[in-house]
Structure 1
């Protein structure tokens, strides 16, 4: 009788232990996502099979164990996670924009903001001045194309994304930002103290030079550039120029559509003027063809380029070189030949993703290679100090003999 009772008690005890362990194991194995409160839209997107449990386990651990849990900002945690995901791509031109960053991007597109007025980008992993804008604080401080930005204030730029760097450099009008710059010819880095100001991005200037040569300077491909270039094209055409010198130096780019529009003034209708290569994302390639506006397609043209010519400028220079065999004068372009698409997200956030790379009509890649000039002419520091422009002079000389 005692043995039977013992067996019964032991059996019940074992069942209880097994049940308890199973219950505990079941609780432990419940995905952390199901035990997290205060978060909406926790479902995986359709077609995504990646296991997100490690993310939610980390979220849960931080939410429950972090020493200062009352200071946790869940929105900042989400933004930080997305920024980390984007940074893992290793592409400085793919970026996540918080609401403030999205507003900054909109200001860029509209062509007016408070800052120093310099286009920046990455060259071989180093934050670099692509071009100081005309009449900007950066130009007045004598920053130059190719300057390497080592520090912004006391912050080293090694690990900054492009948007983080822009955010640090911009600021309230009248406030000073100090950039530590390394330049070819410097024996050591130097500090440049620059007072921020409202920056209005210029668009187009033109004038008639000697011998009936029209000189057109295009500063960027932003804002109302399409309408402004059309107005300029009509004025230039009415002046009956014999030749054109088209200056894209220091032009850091802008809208693709505007590049296609502007090329169409110089190239016959239907000619391939750019190729968009979507790589291995399944979209193949897309060709862009000239709209054939005819204003300048029969007028000899010389194009000026330098290290500050990037993106849309390189598309234009490459098209004119390949399609019309136009002479390019100056220095090698920057080599920013990737295409970004801005995708709006919820809560006034957005993400800018590199979706393709540019090829010239002949199939030559621009990205990280740039475009070599037909006639290489360097601009020295002495030229700048003496306000000389040997590149423009060479372009005018070539134009006269076309």
Structure 2
């Protein structure tokens, strides 16, 4: 009898042990323990303690039960997860590029391509035209700054980042792409069918008015801008120009160094042009480094909604350091700094690391520059080949050139 009790106690203990093991296993599957990631630079120092168990639960479920799970590539799932992490930042300028997209991004930055010739961006979570380039298919099709792109070849743009949109818009030279465009004041969108061409970004045009006012229209802060601006500056100086209209309308930007170099023609050496302000609070100052040959030349700057990035830096610096008047419309508001970080498998991360800060302390990003004299340019103006913005800029400049009348 005694031995029976011992056997029953042993069996009972085994059953209880198995029960506790099963209960613990079930709970472990439902609620996996936190996984502390180790072995990545600086991660331990930041005391990151993240529940990656959720990730592995979803991974396991997809691999085991998803109807097409066998065709789901592990690396694609990882890229999708990384892309989702970046998208959670809700910053259209911070983008993850898988290897194929990273290679295309590098090619696009350095080469010619088949496209429509328009800078695009995200404004209030909507894909928009920042600026059509001069003599481009986009300009000839009458696309305008701030046009909303709702569809690209029937693909909705909701949720598309800029890189994804660019991939659809660009294509083989001679083929067509159709954009559904909604413009301010329109009750419904209209389709624009555009033929893709090789796009080469224009740089600069220069003319002189009859009363010796230089009109310098800068389309891009690209690698050619410094030399072409030098030639225009010589024409300005040797042509006895009395003043200058610096036209930055529909200029989507380019290299920061070019913006600083061009500002250096107009302000004293050593004066602040712009600063980078980082998350840590650290700042990097960019100062005028030229001879200031045009520093005494009266100047008015033309801007519109297509003036972005380096255009806003130059316009803002001239207003802050020279008191230059801005004429036209509020600028786009693209004032952040991105760094492209190559990753181990040839993918890359373009991440926002800083804001541009003007000499006055103004941050450009998402706010833009408000003009001193606001002048709209309507479709009727364009059809009639009128330019009230340029007319106003000339009026403002000519008032500055009038001799001071004694009282």
For normalisation by structure 2, the TM-score amounts to 0.87
- The secondary structure found in structure 1 opposite 2:211 is helix
The whole-number CA distance in structure 2 between the counterparts of 1:272 and 1:357 is 15
Paired residues of 1:109 and 1:222 also in contact (CA < 8 A): no
Farther off after superposition, 285-294 or 17-26 = 17-26
Paired residues of 2:137 and 2:194 also in contact (CA < 8 A): yes
Equivalent residue, structure 2, for 1:319: 317
Equivalent residue, structure 2, for 1:189: 189
- Report the CA distance shift for 1:52/1:225 in structure 2 as closer, same or farther (over 3 A): farther
Equivalent residue, structure 1, for 2:83: 83
- Report the CA distance shift for 1:393/1:351 in structure 2 as closer, same or farther (over 3 A): same
The whole-number CA distance in structure 1 between the counterparts of 2:188 and 2:18 is 72
Does residue 393 (structure 1) correspond to residue 391 (structure 2)? The answer is yes
The whole-number CA distance in structure 2 between the counterparts of 1:19 and 1:291 is 78
- Report the CA distance shift for 1:237/1:27 in structure 2 as closer, same or farther (over 3 A): farther
Deviation of 1:5 (Å)? 4.4
Deviation of 1:366 (Å)? 1.7
1:298 to 287, 293, 296: 296
The whole-number CA distance in structure 2 between the counterparts of 1:309 and 1:369 is 12
Where in structure 1 are there 5+ consecutive unaligned residues?
34-40
Paired residues of 2:95 and 2:350 also in contact (CA < 8 A): yes
Deviation of 1:52 (Å)? 1.9
The whole-number CA distance in structure 1 between the counterparts of 2:38 and 2:390 is 59
Equivalent residue, structure 2, for 1:38: none
The whole-number CA distance in structure 2 between the counterparts of 1:227 and 1:164 is 34
Does residue 206 (structure 1) correspond to residue 199 (structure 2)? The answer is no
Paired residues of 1:203 and 1:221 also in contact (CA < 8 A): yes
Where in structure 2 are there 5+ consecutive unaligned residues?
402-407
Paired residues of 1:211 and 1:400 also in contact (CA < 8 A): no
Farther off after superposition, 327-336 or 110-119 = 110-119
Q: How large is the RMSD of aligned CA atoms in angstroms? A: 2.8
Farther off after superposition, 8-17 or 96-105 = 8-17
- The secondary structure found in structure 2 opposite 1:358 is strand
Equivalent residue, structure 1, for 2:307: 309
Equivalent residue, structure 2, for 1:225: 225
CA displacement 1:120-166 (0-9 Å, x = unmatched) = 11222222111111111111111111211122222222222222222
- Report the CA distance shift for 1:16/1:186 in structure 2 as closer, same or farther (over 3 A): closer
The whole-number CA distance in structure 2 between the counterparts of 1:196 and 1:42 is 49
Equivalent residue, structure 2, for 1:360: 358
Equivalent residue, structure 2, for 1:36: none
The whole-number CA distance in structure 2 between the counterparts of 1:196 and 1:302 is 36
Deviation of 1:186 (Å)? 2.2
- The secondary structure found in structure 1 opposite 2:391 is helix
For normalisation by structure 1, the TM-score amounts to 0.88
CA displacement 1:302-349 (0-9 Å, x = unmatched) = 111011101111111111011100111111111222222222212222
Q: How many pairs align?
A: 394
